[in-house]
Structure 1
Amino acid sequence: MKTFLVTTVGAVMLAGVAHAGFGIHADAAMQNKTYYQQDSIGNYYRQVDVTKFPEYETLAAKVDLTKYNPQVVEDNYNKRVILLKNHYGQPRFKSLYFKEEDRIKIIDYRGGLVYEGIIGKTAVHDSKGVDNVRSISSDHTALPEYQVLSTQTDLTGYMVRIVEDNPNKRTVLYIDANGRSQYKTIYIKETEYVKVIKL
């Protein structure tokens, strides 16, 4: 009986040491903030520091990153998707960074949208409460769809929200001082066709 008791106590102590060792390893990995990404063929992994990404600062301001391990699941010319996983390996948050627009979207798997905004810009809320509306700048006035719309209406005091911008088309909302979307333009890039919609 004594032998059984000693063996049982020894096994429990060993399990505790193994568990403590796993906890230290997981915490160290979270502090490192790196992830391993598989190449397109799936042959090898490379280590990348996520703190170098432009969206990292915004992500760190909205989510306590000390509790999660980042894993990049998609990174192409258009967007980067990072999953933030808990110590059990389950995704808790998702970050989507749209490179051309410099826009980040952070989603909580339990609570929905946490934040959406333009990196490095002072953002205001549009009528849907989304932080990706900007003042009209010289970049916007150079757009073909802006030039078409500005000949039809005075856009002084309007804000813009780029809803979609991909290799095929760009969709832009023009929002008045009351936060209401008044116009929508759709620009087809290949044909340079502009459609203006009064909302």
Structure 2
Amino acid sequence: MKSLFMSSAAGALLIASAVGTDAANMTGGAINEQESESNTKIAQTEKRDTHVPRDDFSVGMYPESDILDEQVDSDDYQMQVVENNSDIRIIILKDEYGQAQFKSVFEKDSKMLKVIDLDQGMIFKGVIDA
């Protein structure tokens, strides 16, 4: 009887350890799945950001470039296109320290350009030839 009890106890212990291993594998699988989802989201974010044009562009590249140069001495600023789609183009002008100083918003359908001094407000608003 004593050996039967020991055999039953040993069998129960083996079964319990096997169940624990499966649970650990399932948990590990869930963690790996979460890591995979996280990596996928990071990759998608990186892909989404790659469509933004380069930070620098030459004067005259866009219809609003000449107006920007007239309103703001754009040679003193680094221009960064932060959005450019079929409806709108937004350009941020940054000083030598990388601080945003001006914002240009060009609505393509209406050809409306707004140039905004981030400290003092709107400095230009008008329809331009594009």
TM-score, normalization by structure 2: 0.57
Compare CA radii of gyration and give the structure with the larger one: 2
Structure holding more strand per residue: 1
Matched, 1:85 2:91: no
Pick one of 53, 57, 60 that aligns with 1:49: 57
* Greater relative CO (CA pairs within 8 A, separation 6+): 2
Relative to 1, partners in 2 of residues 1:119 and 1:40: Cα closer, same or farther, differing over 3 Å?
A: farther
* Correspondence for 1:62 among 46, 53, 71: 71
In 2 relative to 1, CA 69–45 (structure 1 residues): closer, same or farther, beyond 3 Å?
same
What residue in structure 2 maps to residue 100 of structure 1? Answer: 109
Could you say which structure has the higher helix fraction? 2
Counterparts of 1:10-159 in structure 2, within 5 Å, are 40-42=47-49, 47=54, 49-51=57-59, 52-120=61-129
Count of aligned positions: 84
Aligned-pair distance for 1:120?
2.9
> By how many angstroms is 1:45 displaced?
7.4
Letter in 2 for 1:119: I
Q: What 5-or-longer segments of structure 2 have no aligned partner? A: 1-45
Q: Structure 1 regions of 5+ residues with no counterpart?
A: 1-38, 122-199
Q: Percent identity over the alignment?
A: 34
Q: State the TM-score, normalized to the length of structure 1.
A: 0.38
CA distance in 2, matches of 1:45, 1:77: 13
Give the direction of change, closer, same or farther, for the CA distance of 1:100–1:40 in structure 2 (3 Å limit). farther
Q: CA separation of 1:106/1:46 partners in 2, compared to 1, >3 Å: closer, same or farther?
A: closer
**Moved runs in structure 1, 4+ residues, more than 3 A?**
42-48
Structure 1's 75 and 113: CA in aligned 2 closer, same or farther, altered over 3 A? same
